[in-house]
Amino acid sequence: MHDSVLVSPSILSADMAHLADDLDKIAGADYIHIDVMDGHFTKNLTFGAGIVGACKRSTDVPLDVHMMVTNPDDTVDWYIDAGADLITIHFEASTHLHGTLKHIQSRGVKAGVVLNPATPVSLLENIIEDVDAVLLMSVNPGFGGQSFIEGTFAKIRELRALCERHGVSPLIEVDGGVSRKNVEAVCAAGANMVVAGSAVFGADDPASEIDVIRELGTRGLASARG
């Protein structure tokens, strides 16, 4: 188990015209979340390897690259070369999930798998021992600012139980609609890493908001340990 909750602000909610300035505002984050969308897997087109590289040059915070693309098996090396520190790929999109995860790890990058809201946790049974992280989507992927899907709480608890049965402790990351209002409950269910986009960048003081989210999440995590 991790001692404190990791906060990964999503630059999907940043001001892209002043990205370097916005990255400075979140220099106290644990990761920076970069949503790569190809306009096919999602109904939105966002960032490519060039933005990942620009972030790498502009900040020392590790980069958490979430690949929402139809061909992650073919394109992960673009993002590794650009400087990703953690890459998560969708179970629903990867034809050769085990091989791709192992390839990412062989290049010195942490590798994780993502589940959409309707994808059951049970599908991870045969891969859970090979991942550094599992990202549970708590909104349908594609756009920021969506409301948290309440059924995610049960999925987090199920995932935590699966990890305990296998004796592994990957990062359990939750993405979508997480804010100071619900992060304590999210982490009490078993998450130890949260993505927060609009909650951070929409705050008057993003740095302070990260601290609040981390503190509340860590309180929830502590309660999960009993």
- Segment 164-195, tens digit of pLDDT: 999 999 999 999 999 999 999 999 999 999 99
User: How many domains is the chain partitioned into structurally?
Assistant: 1
Tell whether 1 is covered by a domain: no
In a domain, 203, yes or no: yes
**Helix, strand, coil percentages, rounded to 5, for the chain:** 40, 20, 40
Q: Is residue 175 part of a domain?
A: yes
- Does residue 126 lie within any of the structural domains? yes
Q: Does residue 152 belong to any structural domain of this protein?
A: yes
Is residue 208 in a domain?
A: yes
- Whether residue 35 lies in the annotated active site: yes
Tell me which of 22, 64, 132, 175 is the catalytic residue. Answer: 175
How far the first Cα of the chain sits from its last, in Å, is 13
Amino acid 142: pLDDT:
67
The verdict on residue 214 lying in a domain is yes
pLDDT digits (tens, 9 = 90+) for 72-90: 999 999 999 999 999 999 9
CATH of the domain at 217: 3.20.20.70
pLDDT at 146 over 80: no
- Among candidate residues 22, 30, 35, 64, the one labeled active-site is 35
Residue 76 lies in a domain: yes
CA 176 to centroid of chain Cα atoms: 9
- Tell me the per-residue pLDDT of 101-144, one tens digit each, with 9 for 90 and over: 999 999 999 999 999 999 999 999 999 999 999 999 999 876 66
pLDDT of residue 141: 79
Segments of the chain assigned E as strands: 6-9, 32-37, 63-68, 86-90, 110-115, 133-137, 171-175, 193-196
Residues spanned by the domain of 162: 6-224
Annotation marks residue 73 as catalytic: no
The confidence band for 2, taking pLDDT boundaries of 50, 70 and 90, is low
